[in-house]
Amino acid sequence: MLKYGMIKTRYAPSPTGEIHIGALRTLLYNYAFAKHNDGHFVLRIEDTDRKRYVEGAEKRILEDIKSYGLSWDEGPFVQTERLEIYNEYIQKLIEQGNAYYCFCSPDRLKELKSKYDRHCLKLTKEEIEEKLKNHEPHVIRLKMPDNEVITFKDAVRGDISFNTKDLDDQVLIKSDGIPTYHFAVVIDDHLMEITHVLRGDEWISSTPKQILLYRYLGWEPPIFAHLTALLDPSHKGKMSKRSGSVFARQFLDDGYLPQAVLNYLMLLGWNPGTEQELFTLKEFVKTFSFEHLHKSQPVFDPVKLKYFNGLYIRQKSDEELAKLLPDYDSRYIPLIKSRMETLNDVAELLEFTTKDIEPPKDLINLEMLQGIKTILETTEFNFDALQEKFLALVKEKGYKTGDFFMTLRVAICGKKITPPVVESMIILGPEICLRKINKLF
């Protein structure tokens, strides 16, 4: 029985920088679960960390979500625009005795070797009122119960338990009056009627504190599902910048198709229970469920991602691909499509079309090159005619076919690995081809 009318999930990024690729997976899973159940997907900007706030980050986050073909049903809500709401509920907790004012200085807190010692919990009502009247800097803390085991059921990992004796009296309202994540997230998730929270496993230790807040406020908590972190393939631990791209936007800038990135992320922490690997977003939404979420941490393999991206590139029509590569002659698209792993590969594959590349001298046979030049000067410039003359010359002179076409390839393209060379020559035209060859004598 749902506590609200429909299933709702949310994605709640902090505008402290770009969307991490792992966060994009979290967004994708939340989106898929909501849509699978005909529910709503809510977007909330959690901007309470003002010290790390980055100007313009919120705008880029929204743009990146749309760039990946995703959207939201409600929001974006912004936490700093909801401060009055949080103040109402913090006052309720204080009145209940479940939260208290703390006037300890930063220096005193630094001296504490372990968790907060509840020094300010001993203050009398009169002392607190006097300090507030004098505008002494303060925070508001959650009062943890003593030596109580808090257990919650995680949809991925099963029952998880914490003892409150191991938990600190968490700050709920900072000295600037802005709520911390731990407090605001509970208020927002309840008021926005979030039924399921899918988030990274780094938030597991925060969950018992949030469970307590739900209890103190008389609310039913949502269902939690903590997702495994993406591991770095090059070293132990989570993905980091040292392994290359880690931000969602950077993958698009690096020439990856959004559909390919999403498809790869779908399989990092979830599987359909079948051998199927390729999923459209619509197919993923239809198939997604908690039952097939992984408990083990997946490795983010850039080689596998390139494989997926290459598949998606080859699935596109020449016309579709040409629209994604507007700076290049569309006639080359059929020649290079099978050789591309990312859209950015086009720059290297078609480098020979914009400049003369100095070819490896050891791969140039001047005798063969002279014969090629003569053919270009005397033959109708179309594929069939040129190919016929080239093969006839190879047979007449007893050349090795591979050596002959390597000379032709590096003379025209400047390197060993290129699009089909004769087809490329037709697009370049006779004047450019002859000019490239004449420079080599």
Question: Do residues 370 and 420 share a domain?
Answer: yes
* Per-residue pLDDT tens over the stretch 99-137: 999 999 999 999 997 889 999 999 999 999 999 999 999
Question: Do residues 377 and 398 share a domain?
Answer: yes
Whether 436 shows a pLDDT value over 50: the answer reads yes
Whether 242 shows a pLDDT value over 70: the answer reads no
The pLDDT, as a whole number, for residue 203 is: 95
Is position 333 within any domain? yes
Question: Do residues 405 and 358 share a domain?
Answer: yes
Mind spelling out the 3-state secondary structure of the chain?
CCCCCCCEEEECCCCCCCCEHHHHHHHHHHHHHHHHCCCEEEEEECCCCCCCCCCCHHHHHHHHHHHCCCCCCEEEEEHHHCHHHHHHHHHHHHHHCCEEEECCCHHHHHHCCCCCCCHHHHCCHHHHHHHHHCCCCCEEEECCCCCCEEEEEECCCEEEEEEHHHCCCCEEECCCCCECHHHHHHHHHHHCCCCEEEEEHHHHHHHHHHHHHHHHCCCCCCEEEEECCCECCCCCCECCHHHCCCEHHHHHHCCCCHHHHHHHHHCCCECCCCCCCCCCHHHHHHHCCHHHECCCCCECCHHHHHHHHHHHHHHCCHHHHHHHCCCCCHHHHHHHHHHCCCCCHHHHHCHHHCCCCCCCHHHCCHHHHHHHHHHHHHCCCCHHHHHHHHHHHHHHHCCCHHHHHHHHHHHHHCCCCCCCHHHHHHHHCHHHHHHHHHCCC
* Per-residue pLDDT tens over the stretch 251-307: 999 999 999 999 999 999 999 989 999 999 999 999 999 999 999 999 999 999 999
Spot the catalytic one: 59, 153, 241, 395.
Answer: 241
Last residue of a domain, one of 349, 369, 393: 349
Question: Do residues 326 and 363 share a domain?
Answer: no
Is position 388 within any domain? yes
Whether 2 shows a pLDDT value over 80: the answer reads no
Whether 1 shows a pLDDT value over 90: the answer reads no
Last residue of a domain, one of 349, 369, 391: 349
Is position 113 within any domain? no
Question: Do residues 359 and 331 share a domain?
Answer: no
Whether 202 shows a pLDDT value over 80: the answer reads yes
Is position 377 within any domain? yes
* Per-residue pLDDT tens over the stretch 351-381: 999 998 999 989 999 999 999 999 999 999 9
The pLDDT, as a whole number, for residue 239 is: 80
Is position 20 within any domain? no
Question: Do residues 332 and 387 share a domain?
Answer: no
Question: Do residues 368 and 420 share a domain?
Answer: yes
Is position 243 within any domain? no
Question: Do residues 332 and 385 share a domain?
Answer: no
Is position 335 within any domain? yes
Query: Is 66 in the active site?
Result: no
The pLDDT, as a whole number, for residue 139 is: 98
Question: Do residues 362 and 428 share a domain?
Answer: yes
Question: Do residues 406 and 359 share a domain?
Answer: yes
The pLDDT, as a whole number, for residue 51 is: 92
Is position 180 within any domain? no
Number of domains in the chain: 2
Last residue of a domain, one of 309, 334, 349: 349
Question: Do residues 342 and 396 share a domain?
Answer: no
What is the average pLDDT across 232-253? 81
Mean pLDDT, rounded, of the chain: 95
* Per-residue pLDDT tens over the stretch 381-415: 999 999 999 999 999 999 999 999 999 999 999 99
CATH code, domain carrying 374? 1.10.10.350
Question: Do residues 428 and 363 share a domain?
Answer: yes
Query: What is the percentage of the chain residues whose pLDDT exceeds 70?
Result: 98
Residue 329 lies in domain:
319-349
What is the average pLDDT across 177-195? 97
The pLDDT, as a whole number, for residue 8 is: 98
